[in-house]
Amino acid sequence: MIEPMSTTANAISPSSAAPTSSSLPEDELREGAQGPEVQRLQTVLVRLKYLTTRADGDFGPKTTAALQAFQSDWRLTPDGVYGPGTRAALLKALVPVYKPKVVSRPSPNHEPRRGTDIDVILLHHTASNRASVDLATLRKGSGPNRVSAHYLVAPGGTLYQLVQDSRAAWHAGVSSLYGETKPSVNLRSIGIELTNDGSGTTPFTEEQYRVLERLVPYLARTYRVPKQNILGHRDVAPGRKTDPADNFDWARVRRAVDAVL
């Protein structure tokens, strides 16, 4: 799903109400099963737009195919059998995720993704404590060392979008993902810069964390980014980069992601 640049909050919300454990059956179900428990499962698959027929309580080939599609998207074994792992994933899929409000500040520094899917979210610090300086750097349109990122999170919590998600920003430099250099990290990633000097003593702000707790889960769900691919710049450029700094609280971000993935 390509997300256009916007100045308003966007949402992917299969349900306006938080799911409960009673939304889904407890017991294993598979093709051939019938009854109200199957209907409850089908109702959830309809809400998530995996099943396009009505919830009739008959676990037939269409329900199997819908469940397999969901399992594949959530990196589960696509066996079409409803069990504990699929139930847990369905409950997380029902949790709505929202894109925080963004302020558009377009950067000229980007390129086509050339058909590469987004499967990495990369966090950085800017090595500055002033968002105005960071915006100028990320939007500089001339010179040999032009850089950019998709998002910049200012200390006060303002979220700037500089490059559309559909385009590749220039934020990773010489890098690799678990040793792989092709496709490049830039082509396959979303880059998020945090205004922070990177000293390890300047705290990342509460406002920045609150933005990340919404933005990262939203991006991870939208583009089906594996949790192990939510990384820092240091992870794809070891020995060359150290961001985000050691005092960055990864646990907060990972808890937010774990709630929806």
Q: List Cβ neighbours of 154 (8 Å cut-off, separation of 6 or more).
A: 131, 134, 160, 195, 208
193 catalytically annotated: yes
Query: Quick check: helix, strand or coil at residue 240?
Result: coil
Block residue for tokens 């006060």: 156
Task: Label the pairing between strands 110-112 and 167-169.
Answer: antiparallel
Where b means 16+ CB within 10 Å and e means fewer, 137-159 reads bbbeeeeeebbbbbbbbbbeebb
Could you tell me if 168 and 187 are in contact, meaning their C-beta atoms sit under 8 angstroms apart?
yes
- CA–CA separation, 194 and 154 (whole Å): 6
Residue 203 CA, chain-centre distance (Å), reads 24
Could you tell me if 244 and 123 are in contact, meaning their C-beta atoms sit under 8 angstroms apart?
yes
Burial class (CB in 10 A: 0-12, 13-18, 19+), 193: buried
Q: How far is CA 106 from CA 37, 140, 144, 226, in A?
A: 50, 10, 19, 28
Nearest partner of 59 among 71, 72, 68, judged by Cα: 68
Nearest partner of 223 among 122, 118, 150, 151, judged by Cα: 118
Identify the active-site residue in 193, 206, 207, 213.
Answer: 193
Which are the catalytic amino acids? Answer: 193
